[in-house]
Each structure stands twice: as C-alpha cells, then as structure tokens.
Structure 1
Amino acid sequence: MLLGGEPKLRTEGAAGQAATSPAVRTAVVWDVLLAALAGRVGATGRERLDIVDAGGGTGGFAVPLAVRGHAVTVVDPSPDSLAALERRAAEAGVSVKGIQGDASDLRELLEPGCADLVLCHSVLEYVEDPASALEAVAAVLRPGGVVSVLAANPVATAIHRSLSGHFDEARQALADPAGRWGEHDPTPRRFSGEALAGLLAAAGFTPGEARGVRVFADLVPGRLLDGEPGAARALIALEQAAAAHPVLRDIATQLHFLGHR
C-alpha cells in the first residue's frame, strides 16, 4: 500500500498553479516541530533525539532533522524512495536509516519505546486502518514522546475542485464521509480536525492544537511570487498567521496535530 511521502504533497485542482515552494508549504509544520523538539530536548537532557519518519519517502523532513543532529529512521514501502533518501542524505553529509515497510508494521520493525518523535505525514489517508497505524506509532514512542500527524482536509478539497469548475465533485467531497470527490479520487480518505483529534485520543495520545497548513499557498498563482522580492517570505508569514486562525485553519489543504504520549 502507499504511504505518505513527498509525491502526495502535490496540490489539487486550482492548486496546480499554486506557490509550491517547499519552504512555503512546510513552514508551519517546521515551526511546530522545532518547538516540540526543543521541548523534548529540555525534558530529556539529550541533544540527539531518536526520530522515526513513517512514510517518509525521499527524506524531505528526515534529512533536515538528521542535519540538526538527530538520529532518524525512515520507514517507507517504496524501495525507490528509500534509494533516493540514501542519495539525499549522502549529499547532505548525514546518515539516515531506511527500512522498507508500512506504518502499521512499526511494532514489528522497531523496538518498543525507541522513539522520541514519530512523523506521520500524509500517511493516514492511505493506510488500510488509520486507528491501527496510530496504535503502532504509540507502541514505538517513549513516555512523553510526540507524534506529528499531517493529513488532507476535505474542506480544502471542495474549494480546490470548485475553483477548477468541478462543482458536483466539490459538493461530493463535502458530503462523503471519507471526504472523497468521486470514484476517481486518488486519495482514499481525508480528515476533519475533529476526526484527527478523535483518532489521536483513541490511540492514547493527548491532541494538541490543530494547525492549518497551506491555507493560502495552494490558492496563490505562482506568477505572483516570480520576480517579486520578498513575496515568498511574505506568503510564509501569512501562512504562519493563518495556521491557528479559528476559521482559516479549517480551510487549509492539510491539518497538522501533535499528539503527546
């Protein structure tokens, strides 16, 4: 089965013209992750934390975390992605361990209580059983550990489909329990903030505050950033301001939660 990696961070519908710079798309997530890592370093007294990236693909998050000095393991079902991860890590001058497997298999692949942080980004949409996947994540986290969950939001999908002129599909995305816009939708399911918080709680986590990721970035034509000094920086600042806004976060392309063990 496919798990979340960088390929699934592409945009939908009108977002094909979006500002797709990785810095713009992930700035909000990095803000939260770096704060969580600092808190964990302070709580444990260890500068080098053990991090697992479930469905980490080619290492978009894993390699920068390794560059920061952490011990990172990527679990991903794609051998091609793991090979690309190895090359990316080598280019950065760091070591990242790659293991072929699914998020649901973490208990079989890793030792219990081996991780301070588990990334579960763009994974729950694709696994066979999201609840079981989060239970597997909980099993490999140490007490006090943190899971970072990033998942697609059906409200944003409805907005993107409507901006592309697919109005019936937009309505379907809002009505469908899985947030799908039709039988040809490549994403098996999407999650509201309430659904993600409920899944985390059921797996034994205390959910943190919901954050919206890519509130505006997937709606802004890339030409507005081309050749405009400071435009990307300004868009990142706007994304950071909108991430916790009580209305805007609910229309973001993705929703981000930390779950505390």
Structure 2
Amino acid sequence: MHAVGLSRHSGTPAVRTAVVWDVLRETLAARVAAAGRDRLDIVDAGGGTGGFAVPLAELGHAVTVVDPSPDSLAALERRAAEAGVGVRALQGDAADLGELLPPDTADLVLCHSVLEYVEEPAGALAAMAGLVREGGVISVLAANPLAAALHRSVSGRFEEARRVLEDPEGRWGDRDPTPRRFTRESLLVLLAGAGLRPGEVHGVRIFADLVPSRLLDGEPGAAAALVALEQAAAAHPVLRDIATQLHVLGHR
C-alpha cells in the first residue's frame, strides 16, 4: 500500500482511516486512468460533515454528499468553505438516492458507516449501485460484530460479548447504539445481491481501538508506527476479521 496520508488540518497520521485512504487512493488512480478524466464524479452517501468528501474535493474531484441531517450538511459546507473547495450537499436518505441523483453518473460511491443504520441495507446498497457507471466502484465500510465481542470482553462485559456472537444482527443488547453489524461473509453477500463484484476485504482499526491513547500521545512516532502496523495487518486473513470495521470495494 501507499504511504499513509496526513490529516490536512492537524498534520498527524490519520490512524483510524489510513487503511481506507490507501485503498481509495489506488482506486481513484485506477479509475482516472480507465476513464481518461482527472476529475471523477463521487457520491458520499451519509457523508455527514465531510471527513472523506472534503479531502476528495481537495484532490480535484466533483463530490456530492447526501445526508439526512441538515446540521451535518451545514457543517460540511463550512468545512468545505474553510478548505476552499466546493462540495454539493443534498438532504436525503441512502434509500432515496435513485430519486435524488441520475443513474449511471458516479465513478465512486462511498457507503461508510451507513448500512448499520438504514432500514433496509440491501435496498440502500442497490440504490447506490444504480448510481455507479460501468467500471465504477462502491466503497463499503461497516462495523464488525467480532470486534464488538472482543471489545466488550476486554472491558469485562462477558455476557454482552456472548450476546454479540449469538445475535443475528451482532448487537450486545437493547442499549447497543449500533442497530446491526456485518461479518465479512454477510458484506460479500450484500454486494453480490446488488450486482457488484466484491474486491478484497480489509480490516480497519484492528489495533487502534485497543491501544490506550496515552501511548500515542506520549511516545514520539507512536502514531505513525501504529498506522504502519494497521496497514501491514489490514489484509491478514485472521486479523482482518477482528477489526472494528471491515472495508470492501464493490465493482460495477
């Protein structure tokens, strides 16, 4: 993978998203070469305040964010203005993408931390797939139940960890703020059902959520070393399956 990118605002390694950005950079470069255009059309479904959208716009791409929250979209517009870029903001749900945007008009659709919360994940993913041009890609990032079980257990919540493994939605109880989680297998099934060809699955935040923040803050170079560790482990056939999130591309 490419070297990790730095946060445009803080100058520190983006530990939590480095693996995703590595994949996106390679994907964008391949799509630019295939399409013969430097400026790609990107849709960020549920893109919120623009954590991915604004950096993508800074790279010169045309980015549209669709999000149900007017507050998030207002924050997105402020963030884009501060960065000196334009990002189109549309209020709406992921399932309504087919009504908000024309079909076959996107080179890349981001579906990051969305499938966990929509009413019908398969329908939402199908709506996103309808936006993608031939040769385009959907980037899916979703919460992983195996990581939830691991994290509950290391905090001493053993019954909740067991519930995660037994619950079909991967939840640890009624107070769990995440409505559902996805294993690697269930994500691949969803992508195939939407008519997409799944790519390689990567683990995101395999170690980052287990490391105390004081270790990163107090040790020079620790954050960069953790990023390198995350990158090295992202495609590991065992470690990726215990990552906090799973990232996979769906190719049209």
State the TM-score, normalizing by the size of structure 1.
0.91
Matching residue of 1:237: 228
SS of equivalent residue, structure 1 residue 255: strand
1:25-104 counterparts in 2 under 5 A? 25-104=16-95
CA RMSD of aligned residues (A): 0.8
Separation of aligned partners in 2, 1:42 and 1:147: 17
2:246 aligned with 1:222: no
Q: Which structure 1 residue ranges, 4+ long, deviate > 3 Å from structure 2?
A: none
Structure 1 residue 22, shift from structure 2 partner: 7.3
Structure 1 residue aligned with 2:4:
none
Q: State the alpha-carbon separation in 2 of the partners of residues 139 and 208 from structure 1.
A: 18
Which amino acid in the other structure matches residue 161 of structure 1?
A: R
Matches within 5 A, 1:1-261: 23-261=14-252
Q: Describe the SS at the equivalent of 1:56.
A: coil
Equivalenced residues, count: 241
CA offset digits 1:51-83 (Å, max 9, x no partner): 000000000000000000000000000000000
Distance 1:72 1:66 in 2: 6
Query: For the residues of structure 2 that align with 1:177 and 1:195, how far apart are their CA atoms?
Result: 11
- Could you say what secondary structure the match of 2:29 adopts? helix
> What is the CA–CA distance in structure 1 between the aligned matches of 2:79 and 2:244, rounded to whole Å?
27
Query: Match of 2:6?
Result: none
What is the DSSP-based 3-state SS (H/G/I as helix, E as strand, rest coil) of the residue aligned with 1:182?
coil
Q: Letter of the 1:202 partner, please give it.
A: G
Shift of 1:220: 0.1
Once the two structures are TM-superposed, the CA of residue 190 in structure 1 deviates from its matched residue by 0.2
Distance in 2 (alpha carbons) for counterparts of 1:102 and 1:218: 29
Q: Which amino acid aligns with 2:35?
A: T
Counterpart-to-counterpart distance in 1, 2:49 and 2:87? 11
Letter in 1 for 2:196: F
**SS of residue paired to 1:200:** helix
User: Aligned AA for 2:229?
Assistant: L
Q: Distance in 2 between matches of 1:42 and 1:50?
A: 14
Per-residue deviation at 1:228?
Answer: 1.4
- Contact 2:204–2:234 (CA under 8 A) maintained in structure 1: yes
CA contact under 8 A between 2:13 and 2:223: conserved in structure 1? no
Query: Which is bigger in relative contact order (C-alpha 8 A, separation at least 6)?
Result: 1
Kindly provide the amino acid, as one letter, of the partner of residue 144 in structure 2: N
**2:70 corresponds to which letter in structure 1?**
P
1:123, distance to aligned residue in structure 2 (A): 0.2
Structure 1 stretches of 5 or more lacking a match? 1-20
**1:92 Cα deviation from its structure 2 partner:** 0.2
How far the C-alpha of 1:227 sits from its partner, in A, is 2.8
Deviation at 1:164, TM superposition (A): 1.4
